[in-house]
Amino acid sequence: MADVLGRRATRHAVVIGGSLAGLLAARVLAEHAEKVTVVERDRYPEGPEARPGVPQGRHLHVLIAGGQQAFEELLPGFVDELRELGAPKVGVPEDMVQWQNGKWLSRLPATVHFYSGPRPQLEWLVRQRVSADPRIELLEGHETVGLTGDSSRVRGVRLRERGAGAEKETRVLEADLVVDASGRSTKAADWLAGIGAEAPHEETIDTGLAYATRVYRAPEGVLDSDAMGYFILPNPRQEYGAVVLPCGDGTHLVTLSGLRGNEPPSDEGAFEEYAKRMPHPVISEWLAKAEPASPVYGFRKTANIRRRYDRPGRRPAGFLATGDALCAFNPIYGQGMAVAAISAVALRRALADPKRTPTTRRVQRALLDASRQAWDVSTGADKKMPGAVGAEDAPSALDKAVGWYVGRVQERSAGDPVVGAAFRRAITLTAPMTVLFAPAVARAVLFGPAAESPVEPPLRRTDG
């Protein structure tokens, strides 16, 4: 960690933002620094409750398999603790009634699992584990208003107590390293400009997707089904989506989504009417037998945004970005929590690499690489959606060929167990995308017939 901190002993690291990405980064930095301070705008609730600083906190979150592996590496025993808190473990495709690319997926034996408990519950568990480290201080109720230092090196952050007026004096918190984990609405561009440095170039892919979520209570065996959840995935020919998943406390989160111009309503009376736009009435039929247990919560900020700190520019040593402050994804793909943990693992490996000096640029590049596969999955799908904006470059011949091949992978994943297993490993970040080109997968994709898939929703395992 020498060059990141100016070739001297690590004394103090500051992390801006105390959500998952920030807490996990602090966990890693505590292995190198004498002290780590996490600066958080909110005041944390005492228990696993939603807080304003996580605007998606009331919406659906899943911890996919790649995230589970990373959390275990950072916080051993974490997944068992999550399960003990009641987070449901959902097997795919076995436990889900899922519609994708115009087909119902056969409910074959599960090859991957995810956890669908509430986001505040998972964050609370992480916070409990991280704050137990005496080297880590959580500074609540403070916002970062700038950096100190110059364009060659960051020396700390300027803070102001939350709720204080603009006239209130700021104070300086000196640091050898500052990590921006403040989320997709980061003010890093302004902070860097304030010390004479350059902001990174931003890449954006935006479909205009919006979604709305409501909590429901439903009797066991709704629709005479043994499925744990339901998922209708939008595609370029069908822009509406829906997800129904258990929370572990007898309730379900129901999320409905639509693209720009066809956003789901936040009005309670219109929410269930909107569900009738789905390509099959299975979601409406489920809702008709369930009981609403919350208001409707809407969310609109779903653009994919990547900030290219890896590209040349006048940027200071001692400043890194991670989490959504570096790379934010369309939440519909369920990758955010996993990438936060995978990025923290990448940070740990880059700082501890005995063969390479961990310069700021080298560590930042490792963090970007950690998010690359999730970015390719999310933007690869979103670029094809009608009305998507921000795709600057025309696809090359290679891009078109790969797109054609991946399209066949998706079609055959509905019923082919070999192709389906490989596809799920790639999108849950447990294997590189090259797994889709393994010989057995390629033979099935290029030469094998598309396996039959259920005609109707497979409400019971024997149906699919």
Helix (H) or strand (E) holding 203: strand 201-205
Model pLDDT, residue 162: 86
pTM of the model: 0.94
The SS3 assignment for 154 reads strand
155-190 residue pLDDT tens: 999 999 987 565 678 899 999 999 999 999 999 999
What span, in angstroms and rounded, lies between the C-alpha atoms of 164 and 162?
A: 5
Architecture category of domain 209-299 in CATH: 2-Layer Sandwich (3.30)
What span, in angstroms and rounded, lies between the C-alpha atoms of 45 and 119?
A: 13
- The CA-atom distances, in angstroms, between 456 and each of 60, 113, 282 are 26, 24, 10
CA atoms within 13 A on the CB side of 303: 18
Model pLDDT, residue 464: 61
Architecture category of domain 3-61+122-204+302-380 in CATH: 3-Layer(bba) Sandwich (3.50)
Q: Where are the domains of the chain?
A: 3-61+122-204+302-380, 209-299, 397-446
What span, in angstroms and rounded, lies between the C-alpha atoms of 223 and 242?
A: 16
pLDDT beneath 70: ranges in the chain:
1-10, 164-167, 391-394, 463-464
Model pLDDT, residue 7: 46
The SS3 assignment for 451 reads coil
- Percent helix, strand, coil in the chain (nearest 5)? 35, 25, 45
Model pLDDT, residue 145: 96
Radius of gyration of the chain (CA): 23
Model pLDDT, residue 449: 87
- The CA-atom distances, in angstroms, between 291 and each of 225, 230, 280, 336 are 17, 17, 21, 29
What span, in angstroms and rounded, lies between the C-alpha atoms of 145 and 171?
A: 10
The SS3 assignment for 321 reads strand
β pairing state of 210-217 and 319-321: unpaired
Q: What are phi and psi of 223, to 5 degrees?
A: 65, 20
What span, in angstroms and rounded, lies between the C-alpha atoms of 213 and 261?
A: 18
End-to-end CA distance of the chain: 52
Residue position matching structure tokens 């409750």: 49
